Chains A and B, each alone.
Chain A
Amino acid sequence: MDSKFLEINMGPQHPSTHGVLNLKLSLDNEVVVKVEPNLGYLHRGMEKLWENRTYAQVVPFTDRLDYFCAISNNLGYVLAVEKLMGLEIPKRAQYIRVILTEIQRIVNHIGWLGFVTNDAGAYYTINFYTFEEREEYLEIFEEYVGARLTINAIRIGGVPFDIDDKLISMIEKALVETEKKIKDIDKIVTRNRIWLHRTKGVGVFSAEDAVQFGLTGPALRASGVKWDIRKDIPYSSYDEFDFDVPTGTAGDIYDRYLVRVEEIKQSMRIIRQAIKNLPSGEIAAKVPKVLKIPEGEIFHSIEAPKGELGFYIKSNGTDKPERVKMKSPSFINMQSLESMCKGNMLADVVVILGSLDVLLGEIDK
């Protein structure tokens, strides 16, 4: 430890470390010299726990990883299992999954908008506006499957319920409301000089660095790398939808903000297309009650709202997985925190951490 620098233990009890994260900061006055994330405060031994659960029983646990977007976790795990089984999923189930995960993406991004402005010091106002919007989507989830946060909405082989007209009208209403809200937030934030001052040129990450550090998700795209698994390695019928992958140029927090707002709009486009072209048919494939998967291993990744979410599953022929390894986007994104923060000020650390959109449930597992 160099006594020249001021050492600060930021967290785990701190208002804006997004859960229980401990950052060991070394400050030269207020300029950050070193950032050392200290993880493990929310470790629940998820991966070991899954080895003692059947394949179907794991799904509710995946809710608790990234509890802000549970369905994406469900989908990531379930798709990996289905790929291992070689199971063909009915088209209607795939479309319903797309609708649900894209709603989840909107929920995550719009919630992020509230959090990050809050980190930048906007006293909860935008946070409340966005959470009001999030509430509408949570109500859709409640209507669809009966739970709001840890919703366990995807089953191996399909989805548990069908989407009816009432739900579709709810979704359409919520999308219109969100468009209005985004416009209002845009008026408050996008050209605001304080917001520009806090975000432009802060936490800059070049495209090469981003690839080197394995940054994923909107933060990667903000650096100018056009990589979206939905587009590049399509899963769950994403190749049938027409949408753009927004990218930034500067790779700073402002671009991450713009990319996420644009992704909300693209998600709306996908949801509208999916509702319009919703095929008829079954909502779940036939899956045996006691699911035994032949020996083998698989890695499958999806584009979760926070980045590339991968599941590695090794099967030993029984009804329980021998090993499940999760590649969580938050954990990967956390690595680049130090290089982003170096040379910036203490106040920026909070906003940069917020802009990476990390969630401790996913990091510590």
Chain B
Amino acid sequence: MLNINHSNTKNREGITLPEIIVATLILCLAMIPIAGLMGYGGKATLKDARRITAIQMLDKTMRNLLSEPFNEIPRGNNIVKSFNNVSLGDIKASNGVTYSVKLTSQYVTTNFDYNPVNVHTATFNETSPKPADFGSVESLTLTDSVLRLSLTISWIEEKSKEVQVSALTYRANFSRRTI
């Protein structure tokens, strides 16, 4: 026959209800900042993704610019009109963000220094030229053969904050007629 002793059950040790309530309360309070962290992590990941997309766009556009024929690259400040394989202006990327791509293209005056060689003297030895065979330093100045290309990509982050990345390179005109 089953004999239940109620007096023994009363003395059994365990976790009391107030303990459980206090513990749950502490856990809930601790979860609030942790949940905030998770949200922050998600936002930071999206922000990173937008920046990476902009950098990739910058690299691709610059590479395209370097492979375009020199004479077809427009000159000016903040150019937003696309040409050939180069996309400029407002571009909507696959992540849904609109990027503003602007090109600044300007001629750079280049001075190339060299010592001319006088090959028409009787003492000139073509296999072993001497410093005396060279004239004083001359400079070849080119005003329209090198372009300074500066590309800026900007986009709007949260709270209407504009962010931008930019890069700089040069493009030379190899199709120029040599003197």
A, B: real partners: no
Using a CB–CB distance below 8 Å, which chain A residues touch chain B?
A: none
